[in-house]
Amino acid sequence: MLDYGKHNILGVEISAIDYEAAVASVTAAGENRERLTLSALAVHGVMTGALDAAHQFRLNHLDIVVPDGQPVRWALRLLHGVRLPDRVYGPTLMLRVCEAAATRGLSVFFYGSRPAVLAALTQNLQARIRGLRVAGSEPSRFRQLSDHEQLELADRIGSSGASIVFVGLGCPRQEVWIYEMGHLLSLPLLAVGAAFDFHAGTLLQAPSSLQRIGLEWMFRLGCEPRRLWRRYLGLNPRYVQLVVMQALRLRSFQPVCDGPPPQFIRHG
């Protein structure tokens, strides 16, 4: 079990931990019904924080931000000398947490995406993981939630009997959601991005060979070029440039952690 603490990548505090440490933290919080917020960030997620001070504030107040992408893991090594055996990939982390939850008798809740995806996700995971208890699920409303709606949602999740909540709203909406809902729910909240679609079978995962060498983005760009071309072709080169600048100390990236919280944007 590896946990080397948090380290600054472009101003975003990334948790240098492995799967075992992440799963242990989540299941402990689920058993004790304690607040814990976790996000799995790849390059796009780190860049949303690097380029937006208000969102960086949110990210730096999450409890755990794991290195979802290989380039984020490599940056931990380049900038801080941290050697992790692997990235902590959101879809894989979701499976491992579900397996641990089934073993410990903890129930899970899925929030986000569409009803058809949630139905397939629940069916596939329960077929794959014996004894997995699903306390409930609720699709995204694809709009901002009012204060009243947010409180009602927190009450529905809390009264469902869920021990762990997985959130699939896409970056950065899901990080905003767990940051805000973390104040209303004494449960672990995990933002896992495209994991819902992958495990539901509605979106193809990149071959493991591409994942290992950090080219998952190329596969996803080929699958969804119209939606993702700006993200990958614009942000990826910028990320490399900024990481090199940080490594050479040509630019300082001070994490935004203090001061008043940013304006809330309640996504659902």
What is the C-alpha radius of gyration for the chain, rounded to an integer number of angstroms?
18
Instruction: Give the tens place of pLDDT for each residue, 247-264.
Output: 999 999 988 776 655 554
pLDDT higher than threshold 60 for residue 267:
no
Q: What is the pLDDT of residue 265?
A: 46
Instruction: Give the tens place of pLDDT for each residue, 198-214.
Output: 999 987 777 787 778 87
Domain boundaries, the chain: 3-200
Contact 111, 137 (CB under 8 A): yes
Tokens, residue 10:
């472009």
Report which of residues 224 and 101 the model is more confident about. Answer: 101
pLDDT higher than threshold 80 for residue 64:
yes
Cα separation, 34 vs 24, in Å, equals 13
Q: What is the pLDDT of residue 264?
A: 47
Q: What is the pLDDT of residue 3?
A: 95
Q: What is the pLDDT of residue 204?
A: 76
User: Among 32-41, 88-97, 211-220, where is mean pLDDT lowest?
Assistant: 211-220
3-state secondary structure the chain: CCEEEEEEECCEEEEEECHHHHHHHHHHHHHHCCCEEEEEECHHHHHHHHCCHHHHHHHCCCCEEEECCHHHHHHHHHHHCCCCCCCCCHHHHHHHHHHHHHHHCCEEEEEECCHHHHHHHHHHHHHHCCCCEEEEEECCCCCECCHHHHHHHHHHHHHCCCCEEEEECCCCHHHHHHHHHCCCCCCEEEECCCHHHHHHCCCCCCCHHHHHCCCHHHHHHHHCHHHHHHHHHHHHHHHHHHHHHHHCCCCCCCCCCCCCCCCCCCEC
124-140 average pLDDT score: 96
Q: Considering the entire predicted model, what is its pTM? A: 0.91
Contact 254, 261 (CB under 8 A): no
Q: Is 5 left (phi over 0), alpha (psi -120 to 50) or beta?
A: left
Instruction: Give the tens place of pLDDT for each residue, 186-242.
Output: 999 999 988 999 999 987 777 787 778 877 767 777 777 777 777 777 788 999 999
Mean pLDDT, the chain, whole residue set:
91
241-246 average pLDDT score: 97
